[in-house]
Amino acid sequence: MVVLGSAKQVKLGILSPKGKPVSICDCPLYPEQMQSVLQALEDWLTTLNIAPYDIKRRSGELKYLLLNQNEVGIFMLRLVLRSEDSIPLITAALPALLSAYPQIETVSANIQAVHAAILEGPVEQLLQGTPWLRQTLNGIPLYQRPKGFFQTNPNVAEKLYATAARWLSTLPIDHIWDLYCGSGGFGLHCLTPERTLSGIEIEAEAIACAMHSAKELGLESKVNFRALDSATFTDKKARNADTIAAPDIIIVNPPRRGLGSALCEDLCAINPPYILYSSCNPQTLAKDLIQLPSYRIQTVQLFDMFPNTAHYEVLVLLARI
């Protein structure tokens, strides 16, 4: 949520066509319990008298509010600030908020000092609770830390992961690579007692979550999660400069920009029998598929991951020709 308005009247929402702050705490895209907590947070922030960040004036402190909810109604709250100046004031006001809303178990402050369209900065301070939010999808425990990636729609994410596991269930797979693995959702769902898994993700927080899940599941000996850039990792493997086991399938779940030419070239050089591609941007997916000429589409399915918007997730299973 973007923090708008003034220190005396905070709004969590968007700007109207006339440039006025409009609260969207009651947006029906959010679960009812989340709507209630968002409204309470909007009121609570107003009592703090901390100015929202003004882009034109380059002044103010509060930039964004990030709120995550798991399936049992526990919340993780993150406040993105321009500096650490307002943290003492926020910390002093937390007891009153948490007394009224004990379901908010984790609170942290992220410092994003740059005047740019960047959601978060490198510094994260834990203000309350433990840095773990547990979500169980299809019986598999997955974790989120303040800076880790997690699917925004867990109900559809369950179907997405279950579909991936079903498609791979009958394939002759011994070793899985999961690139852009995030918290390990795809890889851990597709893992079986006969398979091993290597997960690659540039965000160390997400890798910590994946390892936490693997440990809880007793799968430490079956997985190898690394905090690395996926493009650098595949480049080394394409040049036979990495000793990790060759994959029978590579799972890729890149950001909206897609894989790009260099990574597609690496995948073709590594030449696994199968590629499972999960995309939130069909335009970049189409471009990448053209750059994977040694593969044909075996199965494809669309998932309405972002209801009431023009965005969606597409899952594609590619088989080597």
Catalytically active residues are 280
- Give the Å distances, CA to CA, from 215 to 168, 202, 205, 224: 23, 20, 15, 12
List CB contacts of 190: < 8 A, sequence separation 6 or more: 164, 165, 168, 176, 178, 197, 251
Angle at 160 between CA 186 and CA 254, to 5 degrees: 55
The answer to whether residues 141 and 217 touch, using CB atoms and an 8 Å cutoff, is: yes
Instruction: Identify which of 105, 95, 93, 94 has the alpha carbon closest to the alpha carbon of residue 130.
Output: 105
User: What residues are paired with 277 via a beta bridge?
Assistant: 252, 316
Residue 146, amino acid: P
Tokens 């899985």 -> residue = 176
